Amino acid sequence: MRGWAWLLAAVAATLAGCASTPSEQDPVQQKLNELDARMARIVANQVSLSQRLDEIQSGIRELQGRIEEIEHNNEVAAKRQRDLYGDLDRRIAALGGPAAGATTAGGGAATGGGTTGSGAAGGAAGGAATAGAATGGGAAAGSAAAGEGGTDAAGSAGPSSVEQAVYTQAFDALKAGSYSVAITGFKGFLGSYPSSPLAENAQYWLGEAYYVNREYESAAGAFRTVLKKWPDSRRAPDALLKLGFAQLQQKQVPAARATLEEVTKKYPGTDSARLAAERLARIPPPTAQ
């Protein structure tokens, strides 16, 4: 019995010692805890990356929408430019015949003015018919000379070769869409040759260049000058029509309405009067504005 008592006492002492000494952490559990911590960090990083990816994709979609909008606007602008150049080319080519100057006298510029200012390029297209003769030279210029300030039926002197060259350079810039260059060219021509047979056309095309360049106040001033200095010229109906369009672009609706009504009354039966009437029909009445 003493032996058993001694053994029990030894076991009790050992257990007591184990209870008083803290046990070491299990290495396996320690590894598991480390793995759990790493997994938590990985999951957090994945969530952050997912959020950033969503932000990037949203930005890409927004950029794609803007690119599509820009491409659409470029297509519209390109179409307007093609329409401008195509109309200019057709009208200038049509002036090769002997009767061309006479047939376009009433509404060359007014036809293009029918764009009602909705597109910048459309402003210059309309009047190309009559200016084509002044830029052509040779037989074409002679055939339409009476309308373009060249040699008339009585054989009076037309513009000099220098005047013709300066005018042609400005008009070519207008056709090419270099509106600022055309403005500078026409202003320079008028400053140097105010009494030239081409001065009337240069003044009108200066207004058109201002108009398509969206300088509507300057355009209105140029068209008023045409009406003041050449009130009975064949440019007058077109200049009065485009003055009305320029006033509309400046939100001067009452003044524009009065100008367009004047076109219909003063030049009945012309293309300018028809286009003025069409534009008047789209202007809201005073009570609706």
Q: Tell me the range of 12-21, 62-71, 174-183 where mean pLDDT is highest.
A: 174-183
Query: In terms of pLDDT, which residue wins out, 159 or 217?
Result: 217
In a domain, 109, yes or no: yes
Residue 163 sits in a domain whose CATH number is 1.25.40.10
Residues 6+ apart with CB under 8 A from 277: 260, 264
Confidence of residue 1 (pLDDT cuts 50, 70, 90): low
Q: DSSP for 3-63?
A: HHHHHHHHHHHHHHHHHHSPPPPPHHHHHHHHHHHHHHHHHHHHHHHHHHHHHHHHHHHHH
Contact 223, 136 (CB under 8 A): no
Flag whether 46 is in a domain: no
How far is CA 30 from each of CA 18, 19, 25, rounded to the nearest angstrom?
A: 21, 22, 7
CA 18 to chain centre: 90
- What are the Cα distances from residue 202, in Å, to 94, 119, 222? 21, 22, 10
pTM: 0.52
Does a structural domain hold residue 53? Answer: no
Asked whether the predicted pLDDT for residue 127 surpasses 50, the reply is no
Look-up of token digits 């509507």: 216
> Residue 121 has what pLDDT?
37
Mean pLDDT for 37-47 is 83
Residue 248 resides in a domain: yes
What's the domain range around 159? 76-288
Give the model's confidence band at 134: pLDDT under 50 very low, under 70 low, under 90 confident, else very high.
Answer: very low
pLDDT 10s digits, 169-215: 999 999 999 999 999 999 999 999 999 999 999 999 999 999 999 99
Residue 123 lies in a domain: yes
| Most confident segment among 29-43, 82-96, 147-161, 219-233 | 219-233
Residue at 60 is within a domain = no
Residue 33: how many CB atoms within 10 A of its CB?
A: 12
Question: How many domains is the chain built from?
Answer: 1
223 within domain boundaries: yes
**CA gap 7, 120 in Å, rounded:** 112
14 falls within a domain: no
